[in-house]
Structure 1
């Protein structure tokens, strides 16, 4: 019982750290470009993770060929998930990013159907439709203006595409989960991401290195929080909690990201939620509850009937 309570405490801490991502991006956007905002914290996080991975590397029987899968996962999944999320949050609102991120479990279910051949039930399709409607409502004010160049509409679209990339990455990792530990998947993804982002940072944002000495306390706060909490410590705590709690419990806890993200954005950045955004968030939350709670219970009932 004590271990369970401790694990839930660690899991709550993880979601609080992940919720800081949207606000931290806003803190760095004035002085750091989107590529550097992803590259810098990820580079340091990879350095932090290196001792943990190298410790167990000698025990595994993997070749360089086995690691090539992370090139695909990073290019099609982690890269858009990180870079487009950074771009989107800079052009939108941190609370919008938190709300739209609620669609992640639903989109992941779609990829699970396409890639893992998992059954796409009627319940899952209904959840997906509700989530899309909720995301559209988050951008309702911009859509009413019929101005597709609106920064919030573009930002929300980029955030949604980032969620799609994240869903693809999560599904791909599930497919190779038996071959790699969670720690290895995170580290090798970061390694590929740093490799992909380095030339982009040098080409598109070469002046950022000269600006580093002039970074304000706000910028450094965002970078350090992204590095230590979002990309490093949260992952270690997540893996520790995952050893004790069920996977379903861990998945349900991800909804805390939005509920933490919204007040953080409101308190730290002074952002306000519109009525449409609140209603859209409720719809997306309903869709994720359907895909996890209702669908899960239906599958459990079906399994019990088949075994009886």
Structure 2
């Protein structure tokens, strides 16, 4: 495996883990306000890039771009809600079952075939979620519901992006997502707006920075080497999140909870490997 790809994917995972940590740290703020700042922070990068590269803002497949933005906003908002109710490692692990839902959507909407081995991988990952619910005392029903529904909407995202195809630049797709999230999040947080004080401004604005660099380094990693070699590394975000959560928030996990998280991540990594081997075969 290309060393640069490993470094890029590790940096991406760390950036997303830090994003999760600061969302948890800012738990006193309304979730829509967090979504608003997360989106505004990223727009500081995407808008100048569109202007610099003379890429049309409105794109071509506007209905699909708007749909992607609305679905992404819903998934992100629900995930941030889940972080408020669950330990971060559990929330991230459950969100990562989105490929299971993506496969279902692809089966019915794109008529893609799914290997029997992939179904086995999904069963392993889903078993992990069931065990996590049973053995993690930090799991509550409302948090679990937010995380699972977030995963369902996250699973829709790659299907919509596949429909968009190469008709629109990736930055245009991200820009739609962030503008829609900023508008809806901004409007929804007005009633419960809490003015940040001191370092809180920096923490809120940094959310978009971590999100942007997480996406940037993931893209760089995927461009550097074969997807099947580097894609499984994105799941080290779970490890980073668990470690930082344990140090910063004193979050604790039983051995059975950690085993459940291992099952989720293992099932999803195996699915990536099998899916890519199918493409290469």
TM-score normalised to structure 2 length: 0.89
Tell me: CA distance 1:79–1:117, structure 2 relative to 1, closer, same or farther (3 Å): same
Indicate the residue corresponding to 2:189 in structure 1. Answer: 201
**Displacement, 1:142?**
7.4
1:161-172 residue pairs with structure 2 within 5 A?
161-172=149-160
Q: Which has the larger radius of gyration?
A: 1
1:178-257 residue pairs with structure 2 within 5 A?
178-203=166-191, 205=192, 207-208=193-194, 211-212=195-196, 214=197, 217=199, 219-220=200-201, 222-230=203-211, 232-257=212-237
1:122 and 1:189 map into 2 onto residues whose CA distance is 34
Tell me: CA distance 1:8–1:66, structure 2 relative to 1, closer, same or farther (3 Å): same
Given candidates 288, 294, 302, the residue that maps to 2:274 is: 294
1:118 and 1:12 map into 2 onto residues whose CA distance is 30
Indicate the residue corresponding to 1:94 in structure 2. Answer: 88
1:111 and 1:64 map into 2 onto residues whose CA distance is 25
Indicate the residue corresponding to 1:306 in structure 2. Answer: none
CA RMSD of aligned residues (A): 2.5
Indicate the residue corresponding to 2:260 in structure 1. Answer: 280
The answer to whether the Cα contact below 8 Å between 1:23 and 1:264 also exists between their aligned partners in 2 is yes
2:262 and 2:219 map into 1 onto residues whose CA distance is 29
1:70-149 residue pairs with structure 2 within 5 A?
70-75=65-70, 77-141=71-135
1:235 and 1:295 map into 2 onto residues whose CA distance is 22
Indicate the residue corresponding to 1:173 in structure 2. Answer: 161
Indicate the residue corresponding to 1:50 in structure 2. Answer: 47
Tell me: CA distance 1:244–1:229, structure 2 relative to 1, closer, same or farther (3 Å): same
1:243-276 C-alpha deviation (Å, 9 max, x unpaired): 3222333422211111211111111111011233
**Displacement, 1:159?**
1.1
Residues paired across the two proteins, number: 281
TM-score normalised to structure 1 length: 0.82
1:259 and 1:151 map into 2 onto residues whose CA distance is 18
Tell me: CA distance 1:153–1:249, structure 2 relative to 1, closer, same or farther (3 Å): same
Tell me: CA distance 1:80–1:278, structure 2 relative to 1, closer, same or farther (3 Å): same
**Displacement, 1:95?**
1.7
The answer to whether the Cα contact below 8 Å between 1:106 and 1:287 also exists between their aligned partners in 2 is no
1:131 and 1:7 map into 2 onto residues whose CA distance is 26
**Displacement, 1:34?**
0.5
**Displacement, 1:163?**
1.5
**Displacement, 1:50?**
0.4
Tell me: CA distance 1:57–1:70, structure 2 relative to 1, closer, same or farther (3 Å): same
**Displacement, 1:25?**
1.4
Tell me: CA distance 1:5–1:196, structure 2 relative to 1, closer, same or farther (3 Å): same
Aligned to 1:176, what secondary structure does the other structure show? Answer: helix
The answer to whether the Cα contact below 8 Å between 2:78 and 2:147 also exists between their aligned partners in 1 is yes
1:141 and 1:241 map into 2 onto residues whose CA distance is 35
Runs of 5+ unmatched residues, structure 1: 144-149, 304-308
1:113-142 C-alpha deviation (Å, 9 max, x unpaired): 222221022222222222222112212157
